[in-house]
Structure 1
């Protein structure tokens, strides 16, 4: 990484301009934009992305059907052209705001720790899904158990499908899934809370409601769903199960820094992708809104532009 640093009046020189925590679609997209802005960038890769179990990334312009790992490898390869961008395999185990810059404590694969200083930090750390504790749910996640019909509905069009979840969320998801298949069954965790209006809407679309509790899921070794197994022992043939999984922040950094969070635990940001902590930005699945790889990449790009323009204003005072 080039050692040349811009002299910013009133600021302590830092190792880098921007630290990007997370090397998924949002983080790599941001790094690409900032690299093209000649910014000194450190991308910190803390592990595989949320969509790693999925066989492919869908609805990503020019990359429809690309395996998640391949997509990220393509992004990394593009960054090799920008000498001011470095990707480092390390977890950020500490983040402190020191006046107008940040100090990051990094932990590498061997456990060795080091520190870096940055003028701005972008959190692109994503989220983790909390799957229902049903046998087979975790094993089939990403192939037979799915979260996004926009990502996976086309691959399962016209197949027998199911939607599972609590009454508050299951109706909207089931109606959406019915766009891809006329054979949809709803399995409700708390059927007593399913309103008459919800039942009426589902019935109008020909969606059956199963109130008996699920016991497990059966599938193939390759992750394909074959049957829903109810507590009575009855088996219902289905090819995919859609759920709205609960989520939590993959990293605790935002909470530790005192960032404002939404009721669902997402990091609140303004139109410039900045959190409630000055100089700290966030982009991707860890912020509110629709979650999709292409949208995460777009958010990363938008955050990078905002960061570069803020840095430019600081370097070019009135």
Structure 2
């Protein structure tokens, strides 16, 4: 099993896929999904990984904070990961999953008590799985400011731990587009002595102003109208009064929007903020369904997401093994064989 080679396919090419059955279908081929598939493949599980090709970190040139992979382009990491997963027999399917339903849906009381799922791909093909891992990530809800999207992931950034080193000691700005901006500005101060908080629509409290002043973070009042770029580089931030505040990089706190429609469709439990709830292994409230990576934790970086995928795979394999033992015991008893003394 460990020497088999998986395949990369596009949905709709192989009609026989409608009859294919897997131990696990992983939806999403980011770090979380691929690492789950890697561990499961090495456990000799039959795995399919379905991915729509929309990684969150596609605009970033490099990723950081991942031991032995620091500075590696995100696309390169995923390419290597896909090769490793295929080495252990997993099928990599380039397609979009439209919805997932329990295999017994509509079957009434005769349906099997063991979890099982039908994974519907765009265009009609379906996959059958004993278990499902949802690793579809999130999208960053960005402020609607002209010039921002064009520089996103280059010199419009969001994570000091991902990008702070690369812009250290340069004039930095923080856009006051959300309540996290003050803390972000205070944190960035350790990467640069020149940090400006562009207040925009924020109503700063006296306590916040005092903390910013104590850390030598300058506050610039005024509504932001656009980001100014020239020759493929950010030059500054223009305010409604016409002033342009020169900055070489700006940070913004985006609104994380989980790509969790599949989990909604399965009616998985959620917390008060609307995020899917899981245990430490990523197990959701619906037996047989795990959620890992940014779809479950907006703070998870690449290295964290990969660990979440591995943790889910270990728990999931134990779950499958327990089911197989129970089935074997039923068959053993039905055979009439004597229990060994």
Q: TM-score when scaled to structure 1?
A: 0.90
Q: In the TM superposition, what is the alpha-carbon distance from 1:184 to its structure 2 partner? A: 0.6
Q: In the TM superposition, what is the alpha-carbon distance from 1:266 to its structure 2 partner? A: 2.6
Structure 1 residue 197 corresponds to structure 2 residue 202 = no
Structure 1 stretch displaced more, 154-163 or 71-80: 71-80
How many residues end up aligned between the 2 structures? Answer: 301
Q: In the TM superposition, what is the alpha-carbon distance from 1:14 to its structure 2 partner? A: 7.4
CA separation in 1, counterparts of 2:275 and 2:34?
Answer: 20
Structure 1 residue 274 corresponds to structure 2 residue 283 = yes
Partner of 2:78: 72
Q: In the TM superposition, what is the alpha-carbon distance from 1:262 to its structure 2 partner? A: 3.3
Query: Cα gap change, 1:270/1:104 in structure 2, threshold over 3 Å: closer, same or farther?
Result: same
Partner of 1:90: 95
Q: 2:27 aligns with which of 5, 21, 29?
A: 21
| 1:3-37 CA distance string (max 9 Å, x none) | xxxxxxxxxx9700001000111111111100000
Query: Cα gap change, 1:43/1:221 in structure 2, threshold over 3 Å: closer, same or farther?
Result: farther
Partner of 2:227: 217
Greater Rg over alpha carbons, structure: 2
Q: How does 1:1-318 map to 2 (within 5 A)?
A: 15-83=21-89, 85-99=90-104, 100-107=115-122, 112-166=123-177, 168-192=179-203, 194-220=204-230, 222=232, 224-288=233-297, 290-317=299-326
| 1:144-203 CA distance string (max 9 Å, x none) | 1111110000000111101113462111111111111111111223332x2111111111
Partner of 1:5: none
2:293 partner SS? coil
Query: Cα gap change, 1:316/1:206 in structure 2, threshold over 3 Å: closer, same or farther?
Result: same
Q: CA RMSD in A?
A: 1.8
Q: In the alignment, is the contact (CA less than 8 A) between 1:101 and 1:118 conserved in 2?
A: yes
Question: Is there any run of 5+ residues in structure 2 with no aligned partner, and where?
Answer: 5-18, 105-114, 330-341
Q: TM-score when scaled to structure 2?
A: 0.84
Q: In the TM superposition, what is the alpha-carbon distance from 1:268 to its structure 2 partner? A: 1.5
1:113 partner SS? coil
CA separation in 2, counterparts of 1:253 and 1:167?
Answer: 28
Q: In the alignment, is the contact (CA less than 8 A) between 1:167 and 1:189 conserved in 2?
A: no
| 1:46-100 CA distance string (max 9 Å, x none) | 12200000111111111111111111001111123212x1100011102101242
Question: Is there any run of 5+ residues in structure 1 with no aligned partner, and where?
Answer: 3-12
CA separation in 2, counterparts of 1:137 and 1:314?
Answer: 51
